[in-house]
Structure 1
């Protein structure tokens, strides 16, 4: 892992992942102070086993700051109640209206950008579309992107605090700031969307107020960052392959998006704490040991995916771990894939001449990988 950290920001991690899978698929990293898993089978087994492996580090005696406690970080049985509550909230949303809202936003923004000689696909398209989509999903007023962008990035940087500890404090403060915004939403709730449902049913939910606020914060942040980085990484991958967009336009769009999720893997890593001593790959993982799953490596595991380094829009089944697995699988995966289908489908059908006018510049983040700049032209 030190090789990846010391390299230039945004370096392609997959050559290193390939070597780790082949030579050290389960190993202890002194740099991370954690066991590191790279195989699909091993990562899947840990993700599914919430009894032996904790997302909630309080289960091994760690002190977890209140802004960190959300649907993403609490375990069953506490997690079960809040997940069922949020699943009901998602089901209550008018998904047809949401789809139409996303499509109108995508069409309008592409029409405006098409009048330019070129633009940055990240700042001018993907980020505003992702923020507009998640606020429509939540049912809340628009959020100023210039204010939100650095707050969100502080949280992303904090995901790498195991390597850069100085990133932890700003990330906790940024999470608390967005949780305060969630409280404001519930104080004056909208009539619809996820927040409208939560406000109307909170009293009987049995969910603590801090966890509920942090969960709304987590939905906002993941809907912007994870889903947005899927758009930027996906577009970079599509533009790097001359035949990718025509193939996508002619094929099964739903399968194509799942393949883009696998190939890009915006969430490159996820962590757990071992609660019950377990053996993985011949190694004993002791209670209290941290475990890091390199999902980006698992999603290119040749023992699970034929020709893993190729985009194959017909790949089926496609058991990627891009949205996790088990109790903590991504609650917003349907929103992320809906947005991606609309964006990539619209571009492939209506703007087949889109092309890069410069190289993609990747962010230096390791846990949540994404593109910082991607200059393109529609003409």
Structure 2
């Protein structure tokens, strides 16, 4: 068995230094060939772009649904993220149809108006917290607009959402499992109320009107809608915060976006600063990854962030190059479980960064950014900015 380098560097991913400086965080992983074993995660770990892509793309050999390995999975965890085909195909198809039915021109217009309104609110301020006063409320406004519902009135929503993210690091922080399970149940109850409320617009309205209960149970639809709410809120706000900080850390990058954020720049920001750092898959039959044997029942942890800095694929991987092409990153995953809400996160980031880059006064960091203590979904807690 190939042991982890440097003891087990997984331990270090929750340190403030690792969260602040991804280049240093992923350095111990970048030059690994094949899989290695992590005692901390009790799993094999894949770090190269080739190995990570192979595992994510092969749903026949590597499952997301742990029931295939004989594990008990709480009903609250049965979502489009966890299920495999044919259940996954059925619920994802319903969600995709609902997304396609949205008035995307209207969504884009409302996001642009929201961005301008929030920029105007801080224009005369000497300092402001970008996350609390811009990125987080913008992401929440956008996802509830897409869903066609009112924002959650419960002031605990940010806390509940954060508990779910914390529990994604359960191997590193076992104490987060219970709160995370309760938080998922609370949000599923909320989305269930929305589905029962006969909302006529947005994603919820479309799903309520076109729900095929013969193919997708109400519980799975409710849970999957909870995933859309949570991912739209957390992933989008974290991508926006990470991307802005990456630009501020790389002199001239924000200025380069003043004419607009094109697809090439946007994809590089996802590669370099995307929030999703890792995913896990279970091996359903004895197999190999790049010649390395993996047995049925074993877990493979895929380190997307390490793969996105694989210098066998990306030249100068620790530099932000907004004109990088080709750019075969896996920042949104790969295969059947690739991120369903990626277009929404990209829309939000494109619109907000384009507006920020076009401001007459440059933004500057006023203090060291503070990151949330999350290894799986990297994101900022506070980003204090002023005008240069």
TM-score normalized by structure 2? 0.94
* Equivalent residue number for residue 183 of structure 1: 192
* Equivalent residue number for residue 122 of structure 2: 113
Structure 1 residues 351 and 187, CA gap change in structure 2 (3 angstroms): farther
Structure 1 residues 281 and 203, CA gap change in structure 2 (3 angstroms): closer
- Equivalent of 1:133 in 129, 139, 142: 142
Structure 1 residues 365 and 276, CA gap change in structure 2 (3 angstroms): same
- In 1, the alpha carbon distance for the partners of 2:262 and 2:346 equals 10
The residue matched to 2:120 in structure 1 has which SS? helix
* Equivalent residue number for residue 311 of structure 1: 320
The residue matched to 2:257 in structure 1 has which SS? helix
**1:78-227 correspondence to structure 2 within 5 Å:** 78-144=87-153, 146-203=155-212, 206-227=215-236
- In 2, the alpha carbon distance for the partners of 1:296 and 1:161 equals 18
Q: Deviations over 1:195-239 (max 9, x none)?
A: 010000114562011111110000000001111100111111111
Asked whether the equivalents of residues 271 and 291 of structure 1 are also in contact (C-alpha less than 8 Å), the reply is: yes
* Equivalent residue number for residue 262 of structure 1: 271
Question: Displacement of 1:26 after TM fit?
Answer: 1.5
Structure 1 residues 138 and 357, CA gap change in structure 2 (3 angstroms): same
The residue matched to 2:275 in structure 1 has which SS? coil
Mean Cα displacement is larger for which, 348-357 or 282-291?
A: 348-357
- Residue 59, structure 1, aligned to residue 63, structure 2: no
Structure 1 residues 218 and 192, CA gap change in structure 2 (3 angstroms): same
- In 1, the alpha carbon distance for the partners of 2:38 and 2:346 equals 34
TM-score normalized by structure 1? 0.96
* Equivalent residue number for residue 362 of structure 1: 371
* Equivalent residue number for residue 308 of structure 2: 299
Question: Displacement of 1:317 after TM fit?
Answer: 2.5
Asked whether the equivalents of residues 131 and 143 of structure 1 are also in contact (C-alpha less than 8 Å), the reply is: no
- Residue 77, structure 1, aligned to residue 86, structure 2: yes
The residue matched to 1:350 in structure 2 has which SS? coil
* Equivalent residue number for residue 291 of structure 2: 282
Asked whether the equivalents of residues 265 and 299 of structure 1 are also in contact (C-alpha less than 8 Å), the reply is: no
Structure 1 residues 70 and 272, CA gap change in structure 2 (3 angstroms): same
* Equivalent residue number for residue 5 of structure 2: none
- Residue 30, structure 1, aligned to residue 65, structure 2: no
- In 1, the alpha carbon distance for the partners of 2:20 and 2:350 equals 27
Structure 1 residues 184 and 24, CA gap change in structure 2 (3 angstroms): same
Structure 1 residues 320 and 351, CA gap change in structure 2 (3 angstroms): farther
The residue matched to 2:343 in structure 1 has which SS? helix
Asked whether the equivalents of residues 42 and 280 of structure 1 are also in contact (C-alpha less than 8 Å), the reply is: yes
- In 1, the alpha carbon distance for the partners of 2:127 and 2:26 equals 35
Structure 2 residue ranges without an equivalent (≥5)? 1-8
- Residue 4, structure 1, aligned to residue 12, structure 2: yes
The residue matched to 1:288 in structure 2 has which SS? coil
Q: Deviations over 1:98-117 (max 9, x none)?
A: 01111111110110011211
Question: Displacement of 1:143 after TM fit?
Answer: 2.3
Mean Cα displacement is larger for which, 197-206 or 305-314?
A: 197-206
Asked whether the equivalents of residues 4 and 11 of structure 1 are also in contact (C-alpha less than 8 Å), the reply is: no
Q: What CA RMSD, in Å, does the superposition of the two structures yield over aligned residues? A: 1.7
Mean Cα displacement is larger for which, 364-373 or 242-251?
A: 242-251
- Work out the number of aligned pairs and report it: 379
Structure 1 residues 317 and 352, CA gap change in structure 2 (3 angstroms): farther
Question: Displacement of 1:24 after TM fit?
Answer: 5.6
* Equivalent residue number for residue 282 of structure 2: 273
Structure 1 residue ranges without an equivalent (≥5)? none
Structure 1 residues 79 and 165, CA gap change in structure 2 (3 angstroms): same
Asked whether the equivalents of residues 131 and 145 of structure 1 are also in contact (C-alpha less than 8 Å), the reply is: no
Mean Cα displacement is larger for which, 9-18 or 149-158?
A: 9-18
The residue matched to 2:199 in structure 1 has which SS? coil
